[in-house]
Structure 1
Amino acid sequence: MNDTTKILTIQDISCFGQCSITVALPVVSAFGIETAILPSAVLSTHTSGFTDFTVRDLTEDLPEIRKHWEKEGIDFEAIYTGFIASIEQLDYIKDIIDSRLKQDGLVFVDPAMADNGEFYSVFDQEFADKMGELCKLGDFILPNTTEACFILHRPWKAKFTKEEMLEIAEELSQFTKRYVILKGYENENNELGMIVLDKVESTVEIVYNDKVDYMSHGTGDVFASSFVGSVMVGKTPAQAAKIAGEFTKKAIEKTIGDEKHTYGVKFEQVIPELQDLLKTF
């Protein structure tokens, strides 16, 4: 990374609720990286735990924004995608990657569409199949087990064995240029593991963090954003997974006990600890 490194993140803006761009922009920026945004939609709140939220789909804006950037010569060292609002947007995003990513730039795809065995309410299998095509443009893909199973047309279950996780990661390697970061493995020591597979070097590592028994919206975005930032400042994928896992755990720990704070995790309060994590791992 140099002092002019620019990342584009493409995902929704939830005006209230700690997720998507409201996580990605501050977290990636905290690594000293200039972060541009391309909103896929604007929501009054995120979709978990809220009712009657408003949604403005920005599908038609994406190609016009790309054209303006082309005219201005704006391009990026990395593109990081998260929650995409419609199946039509996936083709527009491919065009943006083709035209606005610098040569040798990196693509990070977080296929944010499902969790706990179910699609988010706006997605279905057709979307998952199309998301699989976008993943193939990614240098890094970061699915949870539910998203992985939908992409692979595999049955999902709450817990997978180590052997099953490794098998899923291997199957996912056909959907990435190089790295699979598969989240959601829990071992017998109550640790959460991330499978880090490098299909170019034919290596697999499992990176562990202590599990915190707390469920919250937005933790996947906290993990993905801190992973992206860590890679962009020179950490290996395994180191980045460890840093992202620890950062997410610290954000969860800051949130536990606040019964009014059910819509996300207090990641802002642990951003000052990122530099210590970078030095530790």
Structure 2
Amino acid sequence: MSKGVKILTIQDISCYGQCSITVALPIISAFGIETAVLPSAILSTHTSSFSGYTFRDLTEDLPAIQKHWEKEDIYFDAIYTGFIGSIKQLDYIKNIIESRLKPGGQVFIDPAMADYGEFYNIFDQKFADKMGEFCKLGDFILPNTSEACYLLHKPWKPDFTKDEMLDIARELSSFTKRYVILKGDNHKKDKMGMIILDKEDESFTKFVYNDKVEHMSFGTGDVFASTFVGSVLNGKSPEAAAKIAGEFTKKCIENTMDDPKHDYGVKFEGVIPEMYDLLKKY
């Protein structure tokens, strides 16, 4: 397990709903990584399957937190961003990355803003264009196909061919310092997978697949991204980290399927011991 590594994750706190920080903090911590949090907003629940939720915007708290960390000489080995609530926050978080990331540190950006071809209800193309600029700070970007299409101003569709997915991944390489992890490759009908592209090595383009589980759950993108981050910071290659994250996410979905009332997230907590087996496997 990783020792002495400190990561900062910046995303919202949905107090109920198994997503964002309430997923990232326990999963990355389980990898043996000291995990600090910077909430971009506090919501009573996530926005996907609940209505009437409360929302407290924490945008104006971010500069003061950065200033205090500078005073206390606090730095991080890695920074991982998820759901960011506004364009203004992206500017503030850029400053935090440039100020608080150690030299040689890694940045992981999950441009969480869309799914199934639709923006989440607070986002639009203007935000996506700003997110595209922000992604260029990342050593790793982890968009799904909907987010990729908005970044690239392309029309989305439920099914892309293998060649189309490759083209999208290659175009996304202009939005990252090095790695693209493009989620949502389903051209194999019984599989769900992703493409991993290294812009520094044109020969390195990998497809990683898991058996498809016919069950829709919210928060799986956060589970995948957090597991991927934890795996990379434990020394795994991007390909191995994607395999670990994909299999772990699948196990979390399977662990939830027998509870029809649990449609707001996945029961990842009871599956964490299996994550250690996957670390050994890959």
Equivalent-residue separation in structure 2 for 1:89 and 1:189 (angstroms):
38
Q: Which consecutive unaligned segments of at least 5 residues does structure 1 have?
A: none
| Partner residue, 2:106 | 106
Instruction: Indicate if the aligned counterparts of 2:181 and 2:197 stay in contact, CA closer than 8 A.
Output: yes
Instruction: Indicate if the aligned counterparts of 2:115 and 2:147 stay in contact, CA closer than 8 A.
Output: yes
Instruction: Indicate if the aligned counterparts of 2:190 and 2:212 stay in contact, CA closer than 8 A.
Output: yes
| Partner residue, 1:258 | 259
**Deviation, structure 1 residue 272:** 1.1
Cα deviation 1:87-118 (Å, max 9, x = unaligned) = 11000010000000000000000000000000
**Deviation, structure 1 residue 188:** 3.0
Instruction: Indicate if the aligned counterparts of 2:2 and 2:32 stay in contact, CA closer than 8 A.
Output: no
Q: Which consecutive unaligned segments of at least 5 residues does structure 2 have?
A: none
Task: Give yes or no for the alignment of 1:185 onto 2:185.
Answer: yes
Equivalent-residue separation in structure 2 for 1:188 and 1:106 (angstroms):
32
Task: Give yes or no for the alignment of 1:213 onto 2:223.
Answer: no
| Partner residue, 2:226 | 225
The aligned runs of 1:66-77 (5 Å cut-off) are 66-77=66-77
Instruction: Indicate if the aligned counterparts of 2:76 and 2:101 stay in contact, CA closer than 8 A.
Output: yes
Query: What SS is found at the alignment partner of 2:278?
Result: helix
**Deviation, structure 1 residue 229:** 0.2
**Deviation, structure 1 residue 23:** 0.2
Instruction: Indicate if the aligned counterparts of 2:82 and 2:112 stay in contact, CA closer than 8 A.
Output: yes
Equivalent-residue separation in structure 1 for 2:142 and 2:31 (angstroms):
19
Aligned residue pair count? 281
**Deviation, structure 1 residue 2:** 5.5
| Partner residue, 1:128 | 128
| Partner residue, 1:17 | 17
**Deviation, structure 1 residue 85:** 1.1
The aligned runs of 1:159-170 (5 Å cut-off) are 159-170=159-170
Query: What is the aligned-residue identity percentage?
Result: 72
Cα deviation 1:97-149 (Å, max 9, x = unaligned) = 00000000000000000000000000000000000011000000000000000
Letter in 2 for 1:5: V
Task: Give yes or no for the alignment of 1:234 onto 2:235.
Answer: yes
Instruction: Indicate if the aligned counterparts of 2:6 and 2:34 stay in contact, CA closer than 8 A.
Output: yes
| Partner residue, 1:158 | 158
**Deviation, structure 1 residue 189:** 4.9
**Deviation, structure 1 residue 192:** 1.0
Letter in 2 for 1:115: D
Cα deviation 1:212-231 (Å, max 9, x = unaligned) = 01111100000000000000
| Partner residue, 2:35 | 35
Equivalent-residue separation in structure 1 for 2:2 and 2:115 (angstroms):
36
Query: What SS is found at the alignment partner of 1:163?
Result: helix
Question: Aligned Cα RMSD in Å?
Answer: 0.9
Equivalent-residue separation in structure 1 for 2:168 and 2:92 (angstroms):
28
The aligned runs of 1:88-107 (5 Å cut-off) are 88-107=88-107
Structure 2-normalised TM-score? 0.98
